[in-house]
Amino acid sequence: MREKILEELKRIETEYEVKICLAVESGSRAWGFHSKDSDYDVRFIYVHRPEWYLSIEQKRDVIELPINDLLDINGWELRKALRLFKKSNPPLMEWLQSGIVYYQAYSLTDKMSTIQNKVFLPQSALYHYLNMAKGNYRDYLQAQYVKIKKYFYVLRPILACNWIEKHNSFPPIEFRELVEDLFEEGQLKQEILTLLERKMKGDELNLEPKITVINDFLEQEITRIENYTKTLSVERQDLTPLLDELFRDTLTEIWGIKIY
């Protein structure tokens, strides 16, 4: 599959006349709870030629390929990516931490990684993950019988919130790392790890009775984190000049044209 992904990325560069700086896995495979039939969620950052940016027209800033049963590929243009980076956009921050890198070129993402701590806004990430957890819990886990695999799409954002609260840093992308750091030994941790092993082995995880100990934990944490976020104040450092410079330097590095 890696070869197929690289072929698609090369085709994108040729067809759209862009250069790709980073392409990573962003879905369940990167999070560490994929099964053998999980699809591939490839996300990338790309750069247009300098003249593309010198226009009064507002242009499309994403590239999205048609999704098939196994492969989902889409990317964000450099300026869009840097604007979202300035806002501490959690999906983008996860791309920078993905352990599955399909392609990396130029110095852009290394430079972004070096200033990620300056950009990181705990409040922004907490709200993102909390809202994700609340929505998925409401939609999938409140009935007597639930789709067991959906627990991961509530547990992971809740544990991300727990990590931020504990460490005041952006959470690691691997689910198991979150579990090992945040839980002491006990029934709750064991239930979660057992569920993880079942999913990764490819067990059918369709409708089953809800797991009470996990549901109780999630309900308690959603309420607690919601209250915790209300006590936080937002402190923003304006990094626009720094990111403007990174934008210009990237165009110069890739296309060999000095941008003032």
Whether 25 contacts 41, CB under 8 Å: yes
- DSSP character for 64? E
Kindly state whether residues 91 and 170 are assigned to the same domain.
no
27-58 tens-digit pLDDT: 899 999 888 778 999 999 999 999 999 999 98
Minimal CA–CA distance to 217: which of 166, 155, 125, 152?
155
Instruction: Label the pairing between strands 40-48 and 71-77.
Output: parallel
When divided into structural domains, the chain yields a total of 2
- Same domain for 86 and 15, yes or no, is yes
More confident residue, 246 or 35: 246
Is there a single domain that holds both residue 182 and residue 86? no
- Give the model's pLDDT for residue 204: 67
Task: Give the closest residue to 165 by CA, choosing from 215, 112, 127.
Answer: 127
User: What confidence score (pLDDT) does residue 67 get?
Assistant: 80
pLDDT value, residue 202? 79
What is the domain extent for residue 74?
Answer: 2-119+236-255
Where residue 205 falls among pLDDT bands split at 50, 70, 90?
confident
The residue with greater pLDDT, 135 or 148, is: 135
Which has the higher per-residue pLDDT, 99 or 260? 99
Residue-level pLDDT at 260: 65
Residue 80 placed within a domain:
yes
- The residues near 210 (Cβ < 8 Å, ≥ 6 apart) are 141, 143, 144, 145, 146
The residues, ordered by sequence, that sit 6+ positions from 176 with a Cβ below 8 Å of its Cβ are: 32, 196
Based on the domain organization, do 213 and 135 belong to the same domain?
Answer: yes
What is d(CA 18, CA 12) in angstroms, rounded to the nearest whole number? 8
> pTM (2 decimals)?
0.93
